[in-house]
Structure 1
């Protein structure tokens, strides 16, 4: 039974389509994802992926899209040039369309940079969506990137008794191998959020000096 040959052009076209679709989804997710300090503190996920994972997917798919687009243009360069020459022979029949596309693109870029309506409202809608995930809840960390600090430094920063912090964590089923482990790494080890560990510690009066 013979197999059909691998068609590189078809592969490139399908890859451009796939990466474009996934980038659209990941871009929308990043548009509505909670702010970084909240997402990392609460270990926010969507479809099983964290904010960091969604950012990684979007960034790497962007690079893939760029690379396959270059190959797509390379393999279809003759077709593209023939099309443009044909248009030229037809006395620039696409002049109005080209001008309209350039104007619209420049308006979107310029309006977004200057934050003109309705581009400003689009960003405000995204900001509202970010806050809606935890509306009415106190999910702010004690300070930015608190989850990245070692337990010893975290305790010093907010004036907690380190020995009591370690004892409470151990009693609640989250023993730390070292006072230098970060809240984030400890949370990942026990499949909880940094916020949950922090609230567990802060609920015990022994941690206060």
Structure 2
């Protein structure tokens, strides 16, 4: 067969491998990424990608993995069935291995759901890793998803002088075209984080009534 011919079976096998490897990486990143409210507030990034981007990569590759896996089974169905029939003719010599694999899988699922050791410790390690990114720093937003709230609502929520907020932003080079703009929009537009803009606002006396 000519090497220039596209081989769907080889393509599917390679795609399963590729998507599985990337899912492993993205899954580990999501395991240690800071909590959502902190990651979005500080505009946390790893390798230039935000928490939302890593989540999108992981989710879409998961769909791709399952789709490609279905094609993988399709292309190898006869081989798989022949293998199973051969094992059945040999009085199912893998029965011990099958029982052990099922038992281990059920233990992991059940232990994780019930928060038994050592599965509980695995999750606690992840929680510690999430906090380690900003150890000793105050990176909590004033309230959850403050970066998504329009400036007018943000000022009302924490009792700030809205004209003062807009003046401070404009003088610092972050002019908002309206009070309906969010901190997230302004931050992304100027390569900053919502937390940086908020701290800049709160450091100016003009924002207080």
Q: With structure 2 as the length reference, what TM-score do the two structures score?
A: 0.99
Once the 2 structures are TM-superposed, how far is the Cα of residue 94 of structure 1 from its aligned partner?
0.1
- Counterpart residue number, 1:128: 128
Say whether 1:198 aligns with 2:187.
no
**Alignment partner of 2:71: what SS?**
helix
Once the 2 structures are TM-superposed, how far is the Cα of residue 4 of structure 1 from its aligned partner?
2.1
Where in structure 2 are there 5+ consecutive unaligned residues? Answer: none
- Counterpart residue number, 2:21: 21
Once the 2 structures are TM-superposed, how far is the Cα of residue 3 of structure 1 from its aligned partner?
5.3
Task: Number of aligned residue pairs: give it.
Answer: 208
Say whether 1:36 aligns with 2:36.
yes
Where in structure 1 are there 5+ consecutive unaligned residues? Answer: none
Q: With structure 1 as the length reference, what TM-score do the two structures score?
A: 0.99
1:92-135 Cα deviation digits (max 9, x unpaired): 10000000000000000000000000000000000000000000
- Counterpart residue number, 1:207: 207
1:127-167 Cα deviation digits (max 9, x unpaired): 00000000000000000000000000000000000000000
Runs (4+) of structure 1 exceeding 6 A deviation are: none
- Counterpart residue number, 2:104: 104
In structure 2, distance between residues paired with 1:71 and 1:3: 22
1:58-207 matched pairs, under 5 angstroms: 58-207=58-207
In structure 2, distance between residues paired with 1:75 and 1:64: 16
